[in-house]
Amino acid sequence: MELHEFIRALPKAELHLHIEGSLEPELMFEMAQRNGVKLPYANVEETRAAYAFTDLQSFLDIYYAGAAALIHERDFHDLAMAYFYRAKVDGVVHTEIFFDPQTHTARGLAFETVLDGLERACQEAQSQLGISSRLILCFLRHLPEEDAFRTLEQAVPHLSRIHGVGLDSSEKGHPPAKFQRVFAKCRELGLHLVAHAGEEGPADYIRDAVDLLHVERIDHGVRVTDDPALVERLAKEKIPFTVCPLSNLKLRVFPDLSTHSLKRMLGAGLRVTINSDDPAYFGGYIGQNYLETAKALKLSKNELVTIARNSLLGSFVTDAERAPWLAKLEAVAKSA
Ligand code: ADE
Ligand code: ZN
């Protein structure tokens, strides 16, 4: 079996996917046209040409501009369905999707417009494609904590449809401590907790996300290798890391994939997973992330099985939901 076929056959969970980051330029223009929204680029080609990033902020500026095409419930539904079709092709059985309500409510959209559209797509993905999913609301860390509290208030009537909260956007200068109170409130509400940490920011932010925010997973966390004691501790604690190699490459966290810390993290016993982050902007969905990383870091099939297994173990599903996926994974591993 060729490597890409083996990767596709592995049942996997995608645990780090920003739904707004799966908006392909073609769909962006289609929506902008039907919604009468003016985009900063003349056409699809010009848009793709602008996707030459130098760091996280240079990406975020373009990513927030693109989200302006999303206006109606239908747009959020169509966006998520387009992602689910791509995920199906890559052998994703389960996904925990990030969404950024503040990006949309700041433009005057109702919180419910966003949630209703995404939720309808999640149900359709289950019934039509057999993909299960959960929604994770991310707070934008460049905004004040009071804004996060206001967003949480909007979310509270809908907590049966929101599984957890996360923290994203500009990392440097916006440490986990800034959001300690709102995360404590989310914890009281019984929400699952995750946070981006150690993408561009220091390893200290990873420790603070765990110790101050009590997150159950670290998103990115690739700078953990700067702190060997922290690596040892988080390996012991089995904290999952949702690593996104093509994102790190495009945002110049590493100069090339062969220098990525993923293999060292895996070798140190950390619960590493592979994910796509913002696939429409970074040149590949989850399968491409597995494939290019496997080639650059010379990952064995065994290591790829471990990564896929980590994604199933790191997901927020029940053991009963997880069991058939794990069984299938072990069968694929044996057949390799
Ligand atoms: N929002 C979307 N993608 C992100 C990333 N890679 N880091 C921080 N915030 C984000
Ligand atoms: Zn991310």
> Domain limits of the chain?
3-335
Q: Are 248 and 220 in contact (CB under 8 A)?
A: yes
pLDDT in tens, 274-314: 999 999 999 999 999 999 999 999 999 999 999 999 999 99
Residue 336: its pLDDT value, please?
A: 82
User: Could you say which residues of the chain have pLDDT below 50?
Assistant: none
Ligand 1 atom 8 nearest Cα: 169
Residue 247: its pLDDT value, please?
A: 98
Q: Which atom of ligand 1 is nearest to the CA of 278?
A: 3
> From ligand 2's centre to the CA of 334, what distance in Å?
32
Active-site residue identified among 199, 200, 232, 321: 199
3-class DSSP assignment, residue 277: strand
Report how far residue 262's alpha carbon sits from residue 297's, in angstroms, rounded to the nearest whole number.
8
- Pocket of ligand 1, beta carbon within 6 A: 18, 21, 56, 63, 168-169, 196, 199, 247, 277-278
> From ligand 2's centre to the CA of 240, what distance in Å?
14
Residue 106: its pLDDT value, please?
A: 98
Among 60, 137, 179, 281, residue to substitute to test ligand 1 (most atoms within 8 Å of Cβ): 60
Residue 254: its pLDDT value, please?
A: 98
Report how far residue 117's alpha carbon sits from residue 175's, in angstroms, rounded to the nearest whole number.
31
* Residue 199 annotated to the active site: yes
Q: Are 183 and 164 in contact (CB under 8 A)?
A: no
CATH 1.10.645.10 assigned to 3-335:
no
Residue 1: its pLDDT value, please?
A: 87
Distances from the Cα of 101 to the Cα of 36, 183, 284, angstroms? 21, 16, 24
Q: Are 247 and 260 in contact (CB under 8 A)?
A: no
Residue 166: its pLDDT value, please?
A: 99
Residue 2: its pLDDT value, please?
A: 96
